[in-house]
Amino acid sequence: MKMVIAIVQDKDANKLGLEFVKANVRATRLATSGGFLRSGNTTFMVGIEDDRVAEVLGIIKETSHMRKQFMTPAVSLDVSMESTATTPMEVQVGGATVFVQDIEQFHRF
Ligand code: 2BA
């Protein structure tokens, strides 16, 4: 048994959830935020048999897209306490960040 944890962009989350249902893959969906951009993303937790991990990874790969986003760094104050203009910077996000972990035990009571 493995636990696949996939962090995807909110724009891809509904499609991914539907694809999991179609493929009879059970998943839990969490509303999360990225530590860097601090904007919303979605984390799926998927408990899955070892021989279906590749299938799950394939579904995630097909559904998650890379996008460019602009972020504006926090306003900074210079020595005269005047705020200095900050330039928006481009950041590439995604497709998906995925972790696969061994699960020692799995129970459904
Ligand atoms: P965020 O932390 O909001 O990061 C969004 C994107 O910003 C990242 O895209 C990456 O391109 C960039 N980025 C992140 N930290 C950076 C830094 N210190 N300096 C410069 N650029 C930085 P992705 O790599 O595709 O990550 C998308 C989201 O996946 C992340 O959102 C975070 O929620 C999660 N994530 C990525 N790597 C992770 C890790 N090692 N552990 C836990 N969560 C992770």
CA 14 / ligand 1 centre spacing (Å): 21
- The answer to whether residue 94 is domain-embedded is yes
- The answer to whether residue 80 is domain-embedded is no
> What pLDDT, in 10s, does the model give residues 13-67?
999 999 999 999 999 999 999 999 999 999 999 999 999 999 999 999 999 999 9
Please, which residues have CB within 8 angstroms of residue 36's CB and are 6 or more apart in sequence?
Answer: 71, 91
- The answer to whether residue 31 is domain-embedded is yes
CA 80 / ligand 1 centre spacing (Å): 33
Q: What is the H or E stretch that residue 98 is in?
A: strand 96-102
- The answer to whether residue 57 is domain-embedded is yes
> What pLDDT, in 10s, does the model give residues 84-109?
667 888 999 989 999 999 999 999 99
Q: How many domains does the chain have?
A: 1
- The answer to whether residue 109 is domain-embedded is no
DSSP assignment of 19-62 = HHHHTT---EEEEEE-TTT--EEEEEEEEE-GGGHHHHHHHHHH
- The answer to whether residue 107 is domain-embedded is no
* Ligand 1 surroundings by CB, under 6 angstroms: 7, 34-37, 41, 91-94, 97
N residues, the chain: 109
- The domain in which residue 16 lies consists of 2-74+87-102
CATH number of the CATH domain containing 26: 3.30.70.120
